[in-house]
């Protein structure tokens, strides 16, 4: 049985797109299901767009989502190096081999000439063919001797049908006359994506290539390269995945609608396992049948997904909706599923790595009751950012309180007296709030409402504003039980 080998090859020209994480997830599942290998390779041949530090950032994000690789940077394997800029001699060797066998050619057009030819090709509705394609060996030798800059282009045959069987879409057919004479080696000695990806996929024994369906037009070029390099019998299986689009839109994910990069979702407080579960179902459907007409399950662990995954369950559609509202649902479900101890650790890790506001991090680290506080706020939270915002009041008294909310404004003239009475109630309770009796506190607070002829819940709202600074909070009594009595009294005093 053939060993399945898959790969992802991100480019360090910016952040890792969340669509790439979905591709990585499918690559990972396909390899792991058959006990194969998943490889990470860095495609850094576009030196003009290279971002310093991007390689480490890309790898860190992949690791953060729990998708480990078997070979690649940080885990060297038998096909090292896995960074393309360290493999330039390899690509040049094969580019020159293609030239010597008549499957590629030197092209000496400068930038202006290239742009002019591209424009003319568009107008004439034909694919780019450089005039140097027909130059004799002798003439090319003369030009090389002058030291002029050149690129090496693929010599695409005319009017030849190129077919391949896509593992998702099915049979795909192209006429070679629709394919450009692609640049393979640039004037700076770096390969283009098309040469490097084919050479590396072959040398590293890749068996499946998973990528977005916008890469389908590149596949005929890659098939030609496999054939021209004598590797036609080792052609990998191609599977082009549906791209992600904004819900209720025909367009790809856009920054205008929210995060698009994988790290942004981590920074926004989405749990990696929730994010993976959401991505699993963007284009793939589970083989598990519906039970008694009920909706099929939606919660899957990574291990379960690996066991169930197959390419024949991937949708053939061009675009699949990225429903941000559904992602919020997944995240809330995963927050609810965490045990108090697990959630506390996840929250602390997130604070350290991704939180923009580090002000409460040290306080949370040293708080033995953090897990209890998180349990109080998690029901009202959909992300870790929301949890952080809601848990802050335990550590930081409100700097100011807006007493103009409608509920309080109706009895604002009595506010000072009401707060004094609430203060006295807290004084009358025991020194340890964790031992307070809720009913005793409730009865005394309601007595204040009766005394001043206000609604039953109004006195509670006054105390909530004193302690939290907001009309919204988790259970007020349970929150106070996790605070000190002196802190509660100080906050009431400060508000008075």
Confidence check: pLDDT of 90 > 70: yes
> What average pLDDT does this structure show over 455-462?
94
Exposure on the CB side of residue 235, measured as CA atoms within 13 A? 20
Angle, vertex CA 427, rays to CA 426 and CA 432, nearest 5: 75
What is residue 487's predicted lDDT score, i.e. its pLDDT?
Answer: 97
The reported pTM is 0.92
Output the pLDDT for position 265. Answer: 97
> Residue 351: which of 378, 376, 385 has the closest Cα?
385
- What pLDDT is stored for residue 359 in this prediction? 83
Q: Which residues, in sequence order, are CB contacts of 216 under 8 Å at separation 6+?
A: 166, 169, 172, 240
Has residue 1 got a pLDDT over 70? Answer: no
What's the CA gap between 461 and 217, in Å, rounded?
63
Tokens standing for 319?
């675009």
Report the C-alpha dihedral over residues 181, 187, 190, 192, rounded to 10 degrees.
Answer: -20
The pLDDT value recorded for residue 78 is 96
Binned at pLDDT 50, 70 and 90, residue 452 comes out as very high
| 210 compared with 125, residue with greater pLDDT | 210
Distance CA 358, CA 48 (A): 35
Task: Clarify whether 255 is annotated catalytic.
Answer: yes
Asked if residue 267 lies in contact with residue 342, where contact means CB atoms within 8 angstroms, the answer is: no
pLDDT band, residue 293 (cuts 50/70/90) = low
Confidence of residue 454 (pLDDT cuts 50, 70, 90): very high
- At 402, the pLDDT band (50, 70, 90 cuts) reads confident
The average confidence (pLDDT) of the chain is 94
What is the rounded average pLDDT of the residues 285-311? 82
How many other C-beta atoms are found inside a 10 Å radius of the C-beta of residue 63?
A: 13
CA dist 297 and 365 (Å) reads 36
Mention every residue, 6+ apart, whose C-beta is less than 8 A from residue 92.
185, 189, 191
Residue 255's pLDDT is 74
pLDDT over 90 percentage in the chain:
85
Q: Are 29 and 306 in contact (CB under 8 A)?
A: yes
Confidence of residue 295 (pLDDT cuts 50, 70, 90): low
Residue 350 CA to residue 291 CA, distance in Å, equals 37
Identify whether the C-beta of residue 270 lies closer than 8 Å to the C-beta of residue 327.
yes
Longest alpha-carbon distance in the chain = 107
176-194 residue pLDDT tens: 999 999 999 999 999 999 9
> 10 Å Cβ neighbour count for 472?
8
Above 90 in pLDDT, residue 409? no
Give the model's pLDDT for residue 287.
Answer: 87
- pLDDT, tens digit, 9 for 90 and up, residues 109-123: 999 999 999 999 988
pLDDT confidence bin for 290, thresholds 50/70/90: low
Distances (CA, A) of 367 to 137, 249, 490: 77, 46, 20
* Beta-strand relationship, 243-246 and 161-166: unpaired
Q: Phi first, then psi: give them for residue 229, nearest 5 degrees.
A: -90, 0
pLDDT of 256 reads 75
Rounded Cα distance between 362 and 351, Å, is 10
* Rounded percentage of the chain residues whose pLDDT exceeds 70: 98
Mean pLDDT of 424-439: 97
Q: Go through the chain and tell me how many residues it has.
A: 496
Exactly one of 255, 295, 358, 435 is catalytic; which is it? 255
pLDDT, tens only, 355-373: 988 888 888 999 999 999 9
Beta-strand pair 237-241/208-212? parallel
Question: Does residue 266 contact residue 64 with C-beta atoms inside 8 Å?
Answer: yes
């Amino acid at each position: 049985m053939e060993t399945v080998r898959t790969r992802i090859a991100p480019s360090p020209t910016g952040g890792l797109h969340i669509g790439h994480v979905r591709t990585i997830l499918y690559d990972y599942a396909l390899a792991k299901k058959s006990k194969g290998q998943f490889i990470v390779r860095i495609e850094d041949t576009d030196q003009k767009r290279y971002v310093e530090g991007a390689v480490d950032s890309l790898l860190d994000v992949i690791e953060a989502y729990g998708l480990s690789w078997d070979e690649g940077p940080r885990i060297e394997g038998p096909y090292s190096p896995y960074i393309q800029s360290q493999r330039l001699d390899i690509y040049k060797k094969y580019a020159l081999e293609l030239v010597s066998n008549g499957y590629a050619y030197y092209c000496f057009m400068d930038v202006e000439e290239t742009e002019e030819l591209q424009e003319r090709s568009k107008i004439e509705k034909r694919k780019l063919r450089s005039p140097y394609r027909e130059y004799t060996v002798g003439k090319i030798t003369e030009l090389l001797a002058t030291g002029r800059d050149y690129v090496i282009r693929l010599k695409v045959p005319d009017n030849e049908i190129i077919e391949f069987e896509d593992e998702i879409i099915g049979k795909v057919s192209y006429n070679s006359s629709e394919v450009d004479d692609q640049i393979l080696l640039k004037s700076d000695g770096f390969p283009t994506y098309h040469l490097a990806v084919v050479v590396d996929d072959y040398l590293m024994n890749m068996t499946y290539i998973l990528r977005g369906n916008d890469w389908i037009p590149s596949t005929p070029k890659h098939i030609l390269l496999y054939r021209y390099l004598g590797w036609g019998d080792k052609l990998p299986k191609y599977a082009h995945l549906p791209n992600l689009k904004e819900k209720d839109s025909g367009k790809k994910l856009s920054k205008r609608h929210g995060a698009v990069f994988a790290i942004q979702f981590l920074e926004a407080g989405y749990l990696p396992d929730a994010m993976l579960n959401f991505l699993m179902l963007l284009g793939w459907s589970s083989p598990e049948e519906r039970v008694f007409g009920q909706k099929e399950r939606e919660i899957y662990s990574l291990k379960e997904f690996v066991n169930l995954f197959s390419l024949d369950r991937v949708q053939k559609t061009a675009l699949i909706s990225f429903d941000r509202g559904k992602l919020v649902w997944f995240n809330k479900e995963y927050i609810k599923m965490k045990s108090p101890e697990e959630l506390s650790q996840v929250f602390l890790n997130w604070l350290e790595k991704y939180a923009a506001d580090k002000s409460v991090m040290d306080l949370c680290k040293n708080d033995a009751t953090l897990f209890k506080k998180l349990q109080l706020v998690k029901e009202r939270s959909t992300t870790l950012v929301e949890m952080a915002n809601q848990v802050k009041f335990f550590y930081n008294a409100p700097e100011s309180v807006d007493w103009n909310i409608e509920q309080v404004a109706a009895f604002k003239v009595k506010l000072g007296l009401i707060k004094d009475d609430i203060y006295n109630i807290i004084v009358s309770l025991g020194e340890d709030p964790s031992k307070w009796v809720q009913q005793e506190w409730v009865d005394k607070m309601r007595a204040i409402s009766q005394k001043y002829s206000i609604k039953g819940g109004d006195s509670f709202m006054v105390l909530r504003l004193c302690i939290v600074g907001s009309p919204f909070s988790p259970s007020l009594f349970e929150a106070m039980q996790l605070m000190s009595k002196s802190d509660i009294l100080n906050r009431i005093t400060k508000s008075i």
